[in-house]
Amino acid sequence: MSLHKENISFFNKKSIREDRINEAIRIIDVARKKDAILRLIGGLAVRNHCEIIDFCERDYGDIDLVGLKKHFKKINETFKELGYTENRNVAIATSGQQMQFYKKDLEDHVDVFLDTFRMEHDVVLKDRLTLEDYTISISDILITKLQIYTMNEKDLRDILTIVKDVSLDEEDKSGVINVKYIAQLCAKDWGLYTDIISNINKCLNLMHHYNLSPEEVKQIQIKLKTIKEMIENEPKTRRWKLRAKIGKKKSWYRVVEEEGAIPISLEEELEKRKN
């Protein structure tokens, strides 16, 4: 009886995930017809680049998109056409840096970051939104995950998924991780560098919690170590060096808290998942 209920829950969640992906694609396509650029970000963006869906499959939150501030009006028109209402409080609270849309008959909402993804660190995306058709570039997807100060299990899985399935390169191309770009961003920002290096180390230390083949483990290790090495070897800017002298005596990241989230360490979350 319990197993039957779990199966129902699984299929319901799978259906919700598919619905969200289809809705995200629909929004992006309608915006495209209005000459407005919108691209998917977050876990759904990761899933779009998965080779093995079973490994990257997980619960997903709301739809998160990135657009251009200059397309503010067209983005509004896109959502209005699709039956959404804007939550103006979000645009006001963020000084026009973020928008939020909802439908009265749906629990979920859609968040739209404008020009820049703002979480623990700022990742400027306004000139990088045409590298992929439906998502931000894979390099930027990886950065938005690696920049998180307090990673959770979903973030760890997303990072391993990207690194497992995507090739490394040193220039911007569709379907690859531009390691040179990541290294150059880190060379300008000591705080971003600090959290990305820390999270690469976490991934290397915690990947044994997943059912990965020896070949997959080796492949991920090589790629993560290559990314880490290139970041560390990239010549650092004067600004980076000055900030490095201050170190962790001064906060280097923006505090981001999930609404209603109960604090739990990544290690505890992995143990809970295993049991």
CA pair distance 89, 100, nearest whole angstrom: 9
CA pair distance 233, 58, nearest whole angstrom: 35
> What ranges do the domains of the chain cover?
2-274
**pLDDT for residue 62:** 84
Of the segments 41-50, 59-68, 103-112, 128-137, which one has the largest average pLDDT value? 128-137
Q: What is the pTM of this model?
A: 0.87
Tell me if 110 sits within 8 A of 100, measured CB to CB.
yes
- Please return the burial class of 8, using the count of CB atoms within 10 Å of its CB with bins 0-12, 13-18 and 19+: exposed
Percent of the chain at pLDDT > 90 equals 75
Residue indicated by tokens 């820390």: 198
Tokens representing residue 170 in the block: 């040193």
**pLDDT for residue 270:** 74
Average pLDDT, integer, range 122-126: 97
Rg of the chain over all Cα atoms, to the nearest angstrom:
19
The band of 17, judged by pLDDT with boundaries at 50, 70 and 90, is: confident
